[in-house]
Amino acid sequence: MKKFYLASASPRRAELMQRMGLRFEVRPTHVEEDDSGSAGPEQMVLENARLKAATLSAQVPDALVLGSDTTVALDGQALSKPVNLEDARRMLRMLSGRTHTVYTAVSLHWQQGGLAHSFVERSEVRFQELDDARIDAYFALVNPLDKAGAYGIQAGRDLIIDDVSGSVENVMGLPIQVLELTLQELGFDFWN
């Protein structure tokens, strides 16, 4: 097997895989994701990651495909991408001064080899107390509309985040430490 595909349009995931030194191509899938969280946030990201990987794997059965999904969860409720800036502001107010969980699921599929391996990683993020001025300052740096929970950890982190327990890369959208171990355990070598 020579091909490894990332079934995601996320520039953050591609950047993290590049940082790992992996050889891969980006081939986003266009699937209907479930963002309701009705089965719980962990199960939601797991099913979405599996759906992305399985969909692309059916098109390229001789390649390894990685599907992934991330969500922010507070009190067991998934906070998906905000619909507008007011929704983003509402989410940051909910997260203000509290600790929440970020779940990222990774699903690796290789149809020809009969492989479908998935896992979920979690990190805990504690937010600072946020007032409207701090939220405005954060929004001046970061577009919250394309991020689960209306925030990203890459820019403006010191404005909103107090502490992260677990993988920071998991919060960004891909737990690279666990992914590296998993690829090695499964016998794949896509390193440059």
Q: Domain residues of the chain, as ranges?
A: 4-185
Rounded distance between C-alpha atoms, residue 104 and residue 188, angstroms: 21
Q: In whole numbers, what is the pLDDT of the chain averaged over residues?
A: 96
In this model, does residue 51 exceed pLDDT 80? yes
Q: What is the reported pLDDT for 7?
A: 98
**Torsion angle, CA of 103/98/128/152, rounded to 10 degrees?**
20
Say whether pLDDT at 36 is over 90: no
pLDDT of residue 112: 97
Q: What confidence tier does 133 reach under pLDDT thresholds 50, 70, 90?
A: very high
> In terms of pTM, does the model score above 0.85?
yes
DSSP string, 48-66: HHHHHHHHHHHHSTTSEEE
Q: What is the pLDDT, as a whole number, of residue 27?
A: 97
Q: According to DSSP H, which parts of 28-154 are helical?
A: 41-59, 85-95, 132-141
| pLDDT tens readout for residues 81-118 | 999 999 999 999 999 999 999 999 999 999 999 999 99
Percentage above 90 pLDDT, the chain: 93
Mean pLDDT of 165-180: 97
- pLDDT band at residue 35, thresholds of 50, 70 and 90? confident
Residue with tokens 């009969």: 114
Q: Is the pLDDT of residue 37 over 90?
A: no
Structure tokens at 152: 């990203």
Active site residue 158: no
Would the pLDDT of 164 be above 90?
Answer: yes
CA distance 8 to 48: 11
**To 5 degrees, how large is the angle CA 36–CA 178–CA 58?**
60
Q: Which residue has the higher pLDDT, 17 or 146?
A: 17
pLDDT reported for residue 152: 93
Architecture of domain 4-185: Alpha-Beta Complex (3.90)
Strands (E), the chain: 4-6, 25-26, 64-74, 77-79, 99-110, 115-127, 161-165
Considering 35, 69, 87, 158, which one is annotated as catalytic? 69
Over 80: is that where the pLDDT of 1 sits? no
170 has a pLDDT exceeding 80: yes
